[in-house]
Homo-oligomer: A and B are copies of this chain.
Amino acid sequence: MNRPEIILAPGPTPIPPEVFLAQGSPLVYHRGPGFGDLMRDVAGRLKVLYRTERADVLLMTSSGTGGLESAIQNLFSPGDEVFVPLAGFFADRWKRLAEAHGLVVRSIEYEWGRRIVPDEVAAALAEHPVKAVLLTQSETSTGVIQPVEELARVANEAGAMVVVDAVSSLGAVPFEFDAWGIDVAVGGSQKALSASPGIAFVAITERAWAAHETATLPRFYFDWSTYRRFAELKDPENPWTPAISVMQGLQAALELYFQDGLDAALLRHRTLSRAVKQGIEALGLDLFGEGLEDNWTVTAIRAPEGLDADTISDRIRADFGCILAPGQGPLKGTVFRIGHFGYFSELDIIRGLAALEMTLERLGYPVKRGSAVAAAEGVFQETA
């Protein structure tokens, strides 16, 4: 494929040239003041992003999934009970992760595309208390942003810890670690921040550290105590040789992300999301999932009757280099997804919608050329 890949998938996202340059620059040695400054800067900015003053933020070399597993290994002992409301692929990953470590998982199952109902979780927790509730803020498989604030409240009221997979949401939608009473939240470098994949970060409260003290699950590479010990050195370090280049890129990405402030960055995600959704509707396609107004990370779209969703994403990739995400699980073949978090401008969305118009037309779907683009322009003109 000779044309450049145009990523419209929910991570990794388009990467700014500044990040490429930083990760392609000489590596600072990972023991000493240079790396210490890098770690302090990155962890400090991530605390702002998490909206936390009380949590420690640890940085680990792994995908987001590694960060999630670190939460399981460090908080629990075999047989501990957790609650996982299920409403998609990534909530299900929490369940599989917990079960792989011998935890007992209680859950309510929602149809994919639904929002979890906090009152129902509250009732389940009242009936049967658990040690922690494991949540997924952006259910990337369906595009749905789950109501973490309310879910955290009912979990706290039931005396359960709140552990959040914020990998694909942090930086794209509002998240308030301290104000919402979160205990642990996991993020990743390659999502809304638009750095390269390879670094996971974990924010941890005192209550979580206390749970960690008594948790007996075996752990080594992801052991939080080890990370904390090295993070507290005069020149902070990672215990193991970290992905230094990715960290350098992450620093550059955070610098860009914060240029206009956190609120502006979130607003940008909201605008891009609205432009995608109105463009899709202008094509006569149906959006998938509840709470579309809040879903600023990824838009799930039903393929038109008679067209396989994978055919659309295969064809747009082959013809235009545009990478959309296919449907997962029960949505395979009926849904495709457009990611719009990260280093996107208005025109990135517009070119993606134009490619979709042409692709759908080539696949025999009746398209009024320019209609999706016009609708997106409408959103951008309103918000200018």
Contacts and interface: CB of A to CB of B under 8 A. Distances in A.
Interface residues of A, number: 57
B29 A198 contact: no
Contact of A218 (B21, B218, B245, B246): B218
Nearest to A24: B24
List the number of copies, as a whole number.
2
Interface string A4-15: 110101011001
Nearest to A12: B27
Contact of A242 (B1, B63, B218): B63
Nearest to A248: B196
- The secondary structure that dominates the A interface is loop
B243 A196 contact: yes
A63 B240 contact: yes
Which of A20, A198, A239, A323 has most chain B Cβ within 10 Å? A198
Contacts of A198: 61, 198, 242-246
Contacts of A12: 27, 29-30, 241, 244
Interface in A70-128: 72, 96-97, 100-102
A220 B61 contact: no
A32 B269 CA distance: 27
Interface of A: 1, 4-5, 7, 9, 11-12, 15, 20-21, 23-30, 32-34, 61-66, 69, 72, 96-97, 100-102, 188, 190, 196-198, 217-223, 239-246, 249, 317, 323
15 contacts: A1-B33, A1-B34, A5-B29, A12-B244, A20-B26, A23-B245, A62-B221, A69-B221, A101-B218, A196-B243, A196-B244, A196-B245, A197-B241, A198-B198, A245-B245
